[in-house]
Amino acid sequence: MSVVDAPPGMDFAGPAAGEFRARTRPKRLARFVFFACLVDGVITYLLAQRNFYSPGTTILFVGPLFCLSIAGVGYAIRSARIRVDEGGVHWGWQNMGFRLGKARIQNVRYFDGALAIEAKRGSVWYLSKYDWERYNTFPRAFEKAKLPLTREGGRAPLRARLQGYGVVLDALMVGALFGSALLLFYAAVR
């Protein structure tokens, strides 16, 4: 009898061979945008209540929620971690996430700018150098966890670079920040 049981199908993978976090600057950007959108949204709601029945009020109630949703998703993604252990690869948070087990991993291809985790069945996971701190230590973690690794020379394939979400996510975050500020300005001047 054990004190702690694992969920069905999940074994105890042991200590992590490597744990990786999002880069500091994008994480700070996500945190700032989330809280700025939250403050902008509250102020926009308070200003919109002054002229509740005038035209354009609907956008002042829906718009901040939309911007806050984008900022919240970005903040959540930037707070996720990658954990590499002998049981496979886990992306997510401590109690929730996605796991690609060791038995499902066919190969891990390491390029200069991206990492491709190829599953035996299903899609390929791409991890971009832009998104993760200590990217150059990924190969050591996969070797330590005894996962199949192939070091490729040169740049990653185009599809790997396109699926790295970092640049697009940062652009969405900046767009949400500008949208939130624009809605606040509209609420203040009408």
Going by pLDDT thresholds of 50, 70 and 90, the confidence category of residue 96 is confident
DSSP string, 7-63: PTT-----S-SEEEEB-HHHHHHHHHHHHHHHHHHHHHHHHHGGGTTSTTHHHHHHH
Q: What integer pLDDT is reported at residue 14 of this predicted model?
A: 61
Mean pLDDT is lowest, of 1-15, 68-82, 121-135, 142-156, for 1-15
Q: Alpha carbon of 25 to those of 6, 21, 22, 112, 132: distances in Å?
A: 35, 12, 9, 21, 11
Whether 39 has a pLDDT exceeding 90, the answer reads yes
Q: Model pTM?
A: 0.79
Q: What integer pLDDT is reported at residue 154 of this predicted model?
A: 81
Q: Quote the CA–CA distance of 159 and 125 in Å, as a whole number.
A: 11
Whether 1 has a pLDDT exceeding 60, the answer reads no
